[in-house]
Amino acid sequence: MDRLDRKLQELFPEILSSLQASVRIPSVRASAEKRAPFGREVGRALDHALREARRLGLRTGECDGYVGWAEIGDGDEMVAVLAHLDVVPAGDGWSLPPYGAEVREGRLYGRGAMDDKGPAIGALWALHAIQSLALPLRRRIRLILGTNEESGMADIPHYLQAGGESPRFGFTPDGDFPIVAAEKGQLHVDLRGALPPHRRIGLKKLTAGTARNVVPDEAGATLSCPDETAAARIADVLNEGASAGGIPLSLRGKGTETLDVSLRGRSAHGSTPERGVNAALFLMDLLGEVDEDWARRLREVARCFLGDPGGRSLGLAVSDAPSGALTCNVGIVEGGEDSFLMGLDIRHPVTADAEELLDRLGGWARGQSLGMELLRRKPPLWMPPESELIRRLQKVYREKTGQEPSLLSMGGGTYAKALPNTVAFGPRFPGDPDVVHKADEYIALDSFSRTVRIMAAAMVELAS
């Protein structure tokens, strides 16, 4: 292991250069093209990684542009490292070019630097180092490079359906250190309701959010008013309610018969709704200031979710020791005229019964005269502490860091759910800030170097 560490430290300038080249490819999902089912730039990122692998003397393979892989060693069994090369859109608020891959003050900045191109490229070079040192292995080691982790995870199922091999052991460097042994189950549910007819002030449109698994940071509504006087009066009512609640409200058109209302909150991942400020729910609640039955209806429903990320009002408040409490995020709200829709992202504990939770939610929905539709259901993941995979990864982490490797849980989902006997292992260290999916995403070079060495040691340990 000392030889492997020294080798990787010698290679680090080349590893960094390889990562910069990958980050400079804006591999955001786009329209499918030939041999690039998730868009040209995603295909370019996969091509770059596979060219690097071949240049480093690794065996490579590819599955219809969905997945590529690089492999070393021999044997009937295989150890897998799963990483992905697609990224979320850059978004706003960057102080440096999001695809510039610039190094400043010991950090490499760019979309995907941490999630997940840094670990992916680092694992590629770890394979090269292991092979160049001719370290003894009982199992093959395969780095599986996915291309659709951020927008549906259709890539790994395609790989398996095409005959792709499953591992004896595996890990995905797309979570946290020490080890993520539990990932909550996920339910995507839509709720639909009717709105009473308006008397004077009507709702033409209500919209917030683009994905169920994101706390919406902006919400807007368009109100129809019988005249300018009514629009101005409603604007005053909403302003007063917003001021009392400390809500950042914007109004346009109060001198016309149409009033546009917008409200800003704070975004967060849908698995941690308590970290955000849900603009959709605050706007629905604020609209309750309007003297209309439809407005009171929106407020009534919104208050079942406001300040209650654990779903207590819905009868969903459950928790367990391995993974913690259930969370419920309202990620999408759409409405207008006579109806509204709310898109929920529910992350439930690993020991919870999903059917029972759906029954409870259905009972609550019926009591609220809401229709309910289940759109997605993903089972949880729980790797017991006594499993061989956990014990081996704990051994590696303990030896490489000198710290006791506790077991973590997360509400988000990783590739670990896609293949058997696999968990998330790195790359974020305890205490490090969470920069994933945010403006000015970066990976600290010292942490990156340490992550590569830990991954390499884990590969050797699992393949030995």
Q: What is the mean pLDDT of each run of 10 residues along the chain (464 residues)?
A: 95 98 97 95 98 98 96 96 94 93 97 97 98 96 96 93 96 96 95 96 93 89 90 88 80 83 87 92 92 96 95 96 94 95 96 96 97 94 95 98 94 90 96 90 97 98 96
List C-alpha distances in Å: 5 to 1, 246, 400, 428, 452. Answer: 6, 53, 10, 19, 9
Please report the pLDDT score of residue 223 as a whole number.
93
**What is the rounded distance in angstroms from the CA atom of residue 374 to the CA atom of residue 270?**
17
Contact 115, 454 (CB under 8 A): no
Contact 119, 455 (CB under 8 A): yes
List C-alpha distances in Å: 312 to 292, 309, 317, 325, 341. Answer: 28, 8, 5, 11, 20
Q: Is 149 a catalytic residue?
A: yes
Q: Return the axis-axis angle of helices 40-55 and 2-23, rounded to nearest 10°.
A: 150
Amino acid identity, residue 29?
R
Please report the pLDDT score of residue 175 as a whole number.
94
- Please identify which of the residues 41, 116, 149, 289 carries the catalytic annotation: 149
Please report the pLDDT score of residue 231 as a whole number.
86
- What are the tokens at 107? 């950090």
Residue 104 CB neighbour total at 10 angstroms: 11
Residue 384 CB neighbour total at 10 angstroms: 11
- What are the tokens at 444? 């600290």
Q: Is 338 a catalytic residue?
A: no
Which DSSP state fits 416?
G
Please report the pLDDT score of residue 1 as a whole number.
81
Please report the pLDDT score of residue 240 as a whole number.
87
- Please identify which of the residues 86, 115, 320, 345 carries the catalytic annotation: 86
Query: Which own/partner pairs from 42-51 qualify as long-range (CB within 8 Å, at least 24 positions apart)?
Result: 42/85, 42/86, 42/147, 42/148, 43/147, 45/85, 45/86, 45/117, 45/147, 46/85, 46/145, 46/147, 48/21, 48/22, 49/22, 49/85, 49/120, 49/121, 49/124, 49/145, 50/145
Q: Which domains does the chain have, with CATH numbers?
A: 2-183+381-463 (3.40.630.10), 186-378 (3.30.70.360)
- What are the tokens at 247? 């809500």
Contact 358, 225 (CB under 8 A): no
- Measured distance between the N- and C-terminal CA atoms of the chain, rounded to whole angstroms: 12
Beta strands 249-252 and 258-264 are: antiparallel
Q: Show Cβ contacts of residue 145 under 8 Å, excluding neighbours closer than 6 positions.
A: 46, 49, 50, 67, 68, 69, 70, 83, 84, 85, 120
Tokens 């968990």 identify what position? 423
| pTM score, whole prediction | 0.84
Which DSSP state fits 111?
T
Residues in the chain: 464
